[in-house]
Chains A and B, each alone.
Chain A
């Protein structure tokens, strides 16, 4: 089945540790996105990538880093510089272009203690 896989679904980390969230897609999509979701805040864009080896900061990129070495993969690292990392993280992909819909993974809930 084609789709977007995020792993793990739940993740716990100690404060001060970096953690990497996985996102893989087999839809052959060019564009990939990372969003953060907090209660009552909607979805806020962290990073996006339109093509392999290229990515741009979104609205809340501070404390996060990404890479796009393969078309299928767009991992997100939450660094110790992120002040409030506990949140629900959603990865998405699209064919590319502004008139195309985004397809979402099932999300990773990160809890930092």
Chain B
């Protein structure tokens, strides 16, 4: 079984400042990792994914994440946030051979003008 911990439930940040949203996972097998974004009353949209290869993954809207196997982390970063980045962000993990995508509890990012 897999589990995901998002270490911060809320993150306020000023516009144009950098941000890091933290995600740690646990699994007894190799994993695939995902970050999704959710705007109010909407479904989830994929930001980026790590399947294999380079540990630095670039996604949409200027976001990137780094897979760190030794620290079992997959933190999401953006060098300069915009007001439109205000949303809830979910980290998710799927174990190799599994069909179940396990989500963290989410981090609400609030960008302050």
Which A residues are within 8 Å of any B CB, using their own CB? Answer: 4, 6, 31, 33, 35, 40-45, 48, 50, 56, 58, 88, 90, 92, 96-99, 101-107, 109
Which B residues are within 8 Å of any A CB, using their own CB? Answer: 6, 9, 32, 34, 36, 41-46, 49, 51-52, 90, 94-106
Q: Would you list 19 pairs from A and B whose C-beta atoms are within 8 A, ordered by A residue?
A: A6-B43, A31-B99, A40-B9, A42-B6, A42-B105, A42-B106, A44-B103, A56-B99, A90-B43, A98-B32, A98-B94, A98-B98, A99-B52, A99-B96, A101-B46, A102-B101, A104-B45, A105-B43, A107-B42
Q: Do B97 and A98 have beta carbons less than 8 Å apart?
A: yes
Question: How many Å lie between the Cα of A4 and that of B46 in the bound state?
Answer: 14
Nearest residue in A to B50 (C-beta to C-beta)? A99
Question: How many Å lie between the Cα of A64 and that of B94 in the bound state?
Answer: 23
Q: Do B41 and A99 have beta carbons less than 8 Å apart?
A: no
A103 — which chain B residues lie within 8 A by C-beta?
Answer: 46
A90 — which chain B residues lie within 8 A by C-beta?
Answer: 43-44
Nearest Cβ on chain A to B80's Cβ, whole angstroms: 26
Nearest Cβ on chain B to A8's Cβ, whole angstroms: 13
A4 — which chain B residues lie within 8 A by C-beta?
Answer: 43
A45 — which chain B residues lie within 8 A by C-beta?
Answer: 100-102
Nearest Cβ on chain B to A3's Cβ, whole angstroms: 10
Q: Do B43 and A107 have beta carbons less than 8 Å apart?
A: yes
Q: Do A42 and B90 have beta carbons less than 8 Å apart?
A: yes
Question: How many Å lie between the Cα of A106 and that of B101 in the bound state?
Answer: 18
Q: Do A43 and B103 have beta carbons less than 8 Å apart?
A: yes
Q: Do A58 and B100 have beta carbons less than 8 Å apart?
A: yes
